Every structure is written in structure tokens, then in C-alpha cells.
Amino acid sequence: MINIDTIKKIDSQGMHKVYDKWPNMSVEAYNSEHKQISFSDIDNIVFVGMGGSGTIGDVFASILSKTKMHFSIVKGYHLPNTVDSNTLIVATSISGNTVETLTVLDSAKKLTDKVIAISSGGEMEKYCKNAGIDFRRISQQHSARASLPIFLYSLLKILKPILPIKENDIRQSLNELKNLQSDIATTNLDVNNPALNIANWINGIPLIYYPWGLNAAAIRFKNSLQENAKTHALVEDVIEACHNGIVSWERPSIIQPILLEGKDDYIKTKERWKILKEYFVDNKIDYKEVFTVNGSILSKLINLIYLLDYASIYCAILSNVDPSPVNSIDFIKKKLN
């Protein structure tokens, strides 16, 4: 087990302090006086963003998955050919300096007038002011990944006129975050902390299995383990894995399966989880189960992200690794500049 003094010593930039405040940050962001969009005749949304900003796009993809609205995510340099005058492009760069997102933003204005950009400033703010693009400035806390709830809930408010999500679902997700806080924050570093338990269990390379609806949480966990704990991590769709990835378990490895399960997963998905766990037991493969809360897809995703992000921070501390610096990313960014 670890104590708060150890965390403060290793976490030199105080990432854990920001995570301890995630529920409050979320409420403040959603209650802020953000001007909502006034675009009309939208039948296609393209969300542009990398890293932490990309996670926001993944969450919105899940929220919109059961609607008739066409939604796509760009994590790169090029917009899809489906962009037209009825397309809303949402470009997010928490830092404001993401090269890929700035490149897409430059081409977006030539294709549609329905463009909105969100960042904490940087080059994106300058570009939008010069190009006449609707821009919203939102403050960053600590880092892009730690600022996720501020940008997510701000965007839920800004895009609310076109989102098929009930006010009660948003408020419920905020309440669930608050409920989870006391269990996983650094004020509770005992054996009952579920995030710390996950971190203690991981001693190899995690392979995160997920059903399609929880892909945003799975990808985010992989990214957070890589950035915070500086360790390799993998993700696989549980249904697809049963057609290929499952064969990899026929050989011993240091891979550790983590199962992200929804309490109300589709009945055939539940059947697949049961079979997969039976296979692991028969082959003496230890696995970890992580369940969603009940409620809307937003509540499920943001709670999983909060829990698993904190697990990645605890993984870093247990490995005597400072979760904040990302020297490899900085190296690549310098080369791109």
C-alpha cells in the first residue's frame, strides 16, 4: 500500500490533487455561462481531436450512437469526404497547439460555415480570431488529460441544443462522480479503494477487453496507463477478440486481461463474457473485472474513466514513476515544430 506522503513525493506536479477535484470541476464547468451553439440544419457531426481531446469525441460518439445523426471522429489530418454544408465540425485542442487539429481546422472552414473550436488558447485561438471561426476558451488544469471533465461538461453545455441527452442524465453523471470520489481519491488509501486495487493487481501488460459501447473508457484507460504509468497497454473489443485475439492465450505471456463490463450489456454480450471467463478459469489465466455504474451511457463512461484514470496514477506511484511528465511526446512535438 502507499501513503499520501509517498504520492506527494513522486507526483511532483500534483496530478492527484486535480483528480481529487474532478467532481467539483465537472459541476463548475457544466454550470458555467457557456453560450450554446445556434447552428441549424445539422445532420452530420465531425469531432476533431487527439489524445485527451479525442477521448471527448469518443464519449460523444457513444452518446449519439443510437440517433439518426451521423457522427465521425478525426484523429489525424484529414476530414472525411462526407463533410458538406450540413456538417458541424467540432475541433478541440485542450492545449490549443495540436498540429493535427489545427491542420484539419484550416481545411474545415473551406467546406462548411458550421465550425466551432474549443481550447485553452494557444495557436487555435489566434487562428480562429483571424478566420472568423466560433471559438470558446476554456481553462486547462494541470494537463490536457487531467482537464478532461472541464472540457467534456463544457461541451455538453455548449452543444446541448443538438444533443439527445436529458438534463437528468447529465446531473446523474455528476452525482455519480461525486459518489465515486470518496472511494478512489487520495483521502482513501486503504484496501477498499477500487482504483488502488486495480493498480496493485497490474504487474504485467494490461489487455483491456470492452463491449462496443464502452470503447471510449477502454481507449482512455490504455492512453492513461501509457502516459501516466509509462507502461504498455492494449485494447480489444470483446466480440471481435473471440474471432482472433483469444487464440493468443494459447501461449503463456505477461499479458493481463481486464474486463470492462456494463451491468446492462446486451444479452449476447453477457453470454460472451461468461464464455470468455470460463475459458480463462479453465486455462488458469487470472483476470480482473471492472463494472460500470447503473444509469445513462454518460454516467457509465465518465465514472469508468475517473476510476481507471486514477488507477493509472496509482500504477505510476507504485512503480515510483512521476505521472505528469511526458518526455516522449514532448520530443515528437519539438521535431514537428
Quote the pLDDT of residue 329: 85
Task: Fill in the amino acid letter for 75.
Answer: K
Angle, to 10 degrees, between the axis of helix 297-318 and the axis of helix 148-158? 170
Q: What per-residue confidence (pLDDT) applies to 276?
A: 97
Q: What is the CATH number of domain 14-169?
A: 3.40.50.10490
CB contact at 8 A, 102 and 75? no
pLDDT means over runs of 10, the chain (337 residues) = 92 94 95 88 90 89 81 90 90 90 88 91 92 91 90 94 89 95 93 95 97 94 97 97 96 96 93 97 97 93 97 97 91 81
pLDDT of residue 263: 85
For the chain, give me the number of helices (H) and strands (E)? 14, 9
Q: Which CATH class is domain 172-318?
A: alpha beta
Nearest to 213 by CA among 169, 260, 245, 273: 260
Q: What percent of the chain has pLDDT over 90?
A: 71
d(CA 143, CA 11): 13
Residues contacting 149, CB < 8 A, separation 6+? 22, 25, 26, 29, 177, 302, 306
Q: Is 79 exposed, middle or buried (0-12, 13-18, 19+ CB in 10 A)?
A: buried
In the chain, ranges of CATH 3.40.50.10490 domains: 14-169, 172-318
State the CB neighbour count (10 A cutoff) for residue 193: 22
Among residues 57, 63, 95, the alpha carbon closest in space to that of 76 is found at 57
Edge-first strand listing for the sheet containing 87-93: 70-74, 44-48, 87-93, 115-119, 134-137
Cα separation, 22 vs 184, in Å, equals 11
What pLDDT, on a 0 to 100 scale, did the predictor assign at position 337?
Answer: 64
d(CA 260, CA 209): 6
pLDDT value of residue 336: 80
